[in-house]
Amino acid sequence: MNLTDKAVGFAICGSFCTFDRVFDALDAMLAAGADIIPIMSETAFSTDTRFGSAKDIQDQIRSRAGRDIIHTIKDAEPIGPKKMLDALVIAPCTGNTLAKLANGIADSSVTLAAKAHLRNERPIIIGISTNDALGAAAQNIGRLLSRKHIYFVPFTQDIELGESIQFNLLSPLVQIGCKAYIVGCKFIKSYFV
């Protein structure tokens, strides 16, 4: 798929254990020619974890995207009025961010980016990372499934004890979500595998 000259916001939330798989998806988008606008939640941007220091993660994202990371509400606000994005990917999307999106709360860089982007009626592709998709997060997933311009990467409930939601096929499905908007076609909002 060709995403040349398409501006894709890639928003990363604080599911640190999934960053390696998310970086694979980011690399696939770049290989397809996307102009990546990186966005990070304040937590993902500033937290050192056993999966890496905040600075190292920031450096990896900056080197891939070739630009600074949007990580404040102030920097995310122009996304809508300036129509900066053709599509917005939120991956990993934590249960916390999912709940905020479902309930219209825009109090972080990622949630404000989503709200600002939706005003232009362009797609948001969500790659959830939660260990309670069939529990507490289910109602928020349900709310978002019914909303226009919001699409989900296929996901499963935990397969093995301690594993996060699987990003099976994340890269190609993020590309499909972006292509759906770009070519003006509709596709199924979610696949449960």
Is residue 193 in some structural domain?
no
Is residue 14 in some structural domain?
yes
Is residue 30 in some structural domain?
yes
- Is pLDDT above 70 for 184? no
Q: How many domains does the chain have?
A: 1
Is residue 72 in some structural domain?
yes
Preceding peptide of 154 cis, ω within 30°: no
What residue has token string 């798929």?
1
Is residue 185 in some structural domain?
no
Q: What is the pLDDT of residue 1?
A: 64
Q: Which residue has the higher pLDDT, 39 or 173?
A: 39
State the pTM of this model: 0.83
What tens digit of pLDDT does each residue of 67-114 get?
999 999 999 999 999 999 999 999 999 889 999 999 999 999 999 999
Is residue 34 in some structural domain?
yes
Write out the residue range of the structural domain in which residue 105 sits: 7-180
Is residue 2 in some structural domain?
no
Q: How confident is the model at residue 18 (pLDDT cuts 50, 70, 90)?
A: confident
Q: How confident is the model at residue 17 (pLDDT cuts 50, 70, 90)?
A: confident
Instruction: Work out the mean pLDDT of the chain and round it to a whole number.
Output: 82
Q: How confident is the model at residue 161 (pLDDT cuts 50, 70, 90)?
A: very low
Is residue 147 in some structural domain?
yes
